[in-house]
A and B are shown apart, each in its own frame.
Chain A
């Protein structure tokens, strides 16, 4: 029984982390049309925040909770700087943003290497030490934490977009920038805030990622392609598509890894997504409005 349960739970947790990484992209790429290849390094920045808070606060349980807002703000500020210095002149030119941000991504990796040549060790909080017994499978609590975190991020972002006036301004700007401006929406400041939130979410994802693997210069690279894949497969500008795609990729990869090998699972998953995009080039959900990017 647990041979069927374990990949399901592991995959759900993997998908949850992928979702946090992809949520920010769903905003900046899906909604704003900016291809930010440095998004992965914002994850890395979040992971570094987890390390910093552990240096300051002795209790690993307190420090991880503290790391979440710190990482959100720190990665968000990095996003703001990137938007202000590079991207604001490149809206509507996605391929240019891609090239520019690949450069930024490499530069950030080198900065990290200069500061921490052998990476930074992030300790697991003692609260997450145990396992939860699910039908005979000892499910690591760390994975439960990732899922709760992803749910929190999703709920927060969803509520913000749907219910707040700021969320309405984002959606208005995205759907029709010119009209929004004539209605008095300060679209430039909306751009900046959207980028802040999108990048901040990457920071939160970085804290979760730091509990799984090595916090080194390659951390962002490990997630960026999959995160883009999830956003595209889900359908641009579609949060529910992103959620379903992230979860599906997580679970399918986990089952494949269980039945075959880790390497083969990765390859098969990519092939499946490519085939899927041939059938549905616009992803899972397509919105048939005129203005949505």
Chain B
């Protein structure tokens, strides 16, 4: 017989479940592995063995979980690059033997698997990661073992490590060019919309400072948690603020909710255009509402005209299927393997310290144009591009920087960026 006690007990049980759920949601993505400022006194001795005719390389991306959607193509294109390098004779005559791991959209797993790759599999370098949380989880591991990580996605900057090479854009290669484009367009008022986590918050802090410098007024700033999709309330504020442009630092599927709420409210690209830093060729067709006419800032688009890009697209279609598009993070992953090859061959060794000593000035004729490694901060030069989405969900390049931009992850070359803000942001980013 059920009675009141049962009801109360059941309510309590459900309440605890809810609390656990909330706690998990609140912790999600916020806390990666700590202690990156405490490298061990003596790096572990490398167990990399290249005496045979192969070299082992670790590929790690989320093949399962929420990020799998984005990371699977990055993982696949690494496989393609490895095949391509093997077909042309390998790295210093040694064939690449890829060892694939699944980070499973779980940051401690990224750290564990990276450790396994470096110490059990004895790979010469690790390639992959997507979210900043996954990178921050892997960073202390590669530093501890004096390994190498190649990270292929645009991020919030304010980081550099002698054990990581960043082949995606840092803020001065994506966010700042986007602002310069807005200035050139004559934009006077700007509304900031972002997901509530480290990248958008850091990016917007930088955008606000630069906007002041450029004389652009910020008329609103809204954040919605990554796991929420409903932007109706926030879009109502955009309608009211009537900005010239919306700067979008929303990530993942939350973008779909944003675009739907935007069209729901009757906003249009002709009157209130959006510029995004995470919508690429793969995302544009999946918005459930037309994004034709909207803008995105990247360093590579499938529509980029170059012989290297024609070959890249042709190879990718042959490798992965006729309906497949290429995107910026894929391209950055593809070039990371080629840059590694060039760096090893210049150093004449697979030893990490020798590679680091030789890295400066290593270049590659990438699909986005020639890229050059900066040996100091371990980033690469990249052209800043603005694309406008056309009816085929491809991007027409409407603006580009004057040539490749040198990476400046800490924005040290910008007078409007105060030292104190940099320290605070570096600290906040953990």
Residues of A within 8 A of B (CB): 2-3, 6-7, 10, 13-14, 33, 35, 94-95, 98, 110, 113, 117-124, 129-131, 137-138, 140, 142-143, 210-219, 221-222, 225, 228-229, 232, 236, 254, 257-258, 261-263, 266-267, 270, 274, 277, 281-283, 286, 290-293
Contact = CB atoms under 8 A, between A and B. Distances in A.
Interface in B260-307: 260-261, 263-266, 282, 285-289
Contact of B1 (A120, A140, A211, A291): A291
Given A117-B68, A121-B288, A213-B230, A261 B11 contact: no
Query: 4 closest A-B pairs (Cβ-Cβ)?
Result: A213-B229, A214-B253, A213-B257, A214-B256
Interface in B208-228: 222-225, 227-228
B11 A236 contact: yes
A2 B19 contact: no
A2 B240 contact: yes
A108 to B, nearest CB: 15
Nearest to B255: A214
Contacts of B7: 236, 282, 286, 292-293
Nearest to A113: B68
A29 B21 CA distance: 18
B17 interface: yes
Interface string B308-334: 000000000000000000000000000
Nearest to B21: A225
B234 interface: yes
Contacts, number: 168
A13 B26 CA distance: 25
A266 B228 CA distance: 10
Nearest to B285: A121
Nearest to A121: B288
A109 to B, nearest CB: 9
Nearest to A7: B233
Contact of B289 (A124, A228, A291): A124
Contacts of A212: 229-230, 232, 257, 260-261
Contacts of A142: 264
Contacts of A123: 288-289
B15 A262 contact: no
A142 B228 CA distance: 18
A122 B1 contact: no
Contact of B10 (A119, A236, A266): A236
A232 B289 contact: no
A225 B225 contact: no
Most buried by A among B13, B15, B196, B285: B15
Given A121-B288, A229-B18, A232-B15, A130 B222 contact: no
B133 interface: no
Given A211-B260, A213-B260, A293 B6 contact: yes
B222 A261 contact: yes
Given A214-B255, A228-B18, A277-B11, 6 more contacts: A124-B260, A140-B232, A140-B265, A143-B264, A214-B253, A261-B196
A262 B228 CA distance: 9
A222 B227 contact: yes
Contacts of A131: 264-266
Contact of B196 (A129, A137, A262, A270): A262
20 contacts: A3-B240, A6-B233, A118-B69, A122-B288, A123-B288, A131-B266, A211-B260, A212-B261, A213-B229, A213-B257, A214-B252, A216-B253, A218-B227, A225-B22, A254-B233, A263-B224, A270-B22, A282-B4, A282-B8, A293-B2
Contacts of B252: 214
B254 A281 contact: no
Contact of B2 (A3, A219, A291): A291
Given A213-B256, A262-B225, A274 B233 contact: no
A291 B3 CA distance: 6
B357 interface: no
B72 interface: yes
A107 B263 CA distance: 34
B205 interface: no
A290 B3 contact: yes
B17 A98 contact: yes
A138 B239 contact: yes
Contacts of A217: 66
A215 B239 contact: no
B209 to A, nearest CB: 20
B1 A290 contact: yes
Nearest to B225: A263
A147 B223 CA distance: 26
Contacts of A117: 68-69, 72
B264 A140 contact: yes
Contacts of A137: 236
A270 B64 CA distance: 30
B137 to A, nearest CB: 21
Contacts of B15: 232, 274, 277
B253 A213 contact: yes
Contacts of A262: 196, 222-225, 228, 233-234
A3 B19 CA distance: 32
A121 B285 CA distance: 8
Contact of A281 (B12, B22, B223, B285): B12
Contacts of B289: 123-124
A121 B263 CA distance: 15
A273 to B, nearest CB: 8
A124 B223 contact: no
B14 interface: yes
B14 A232 contact: yes
Contact of A95 (B13, B72, B223, B288): B13
Contacts of B236: 6-7, 10, 137, 258
Contacts of B10: 33, 94, 236, 293
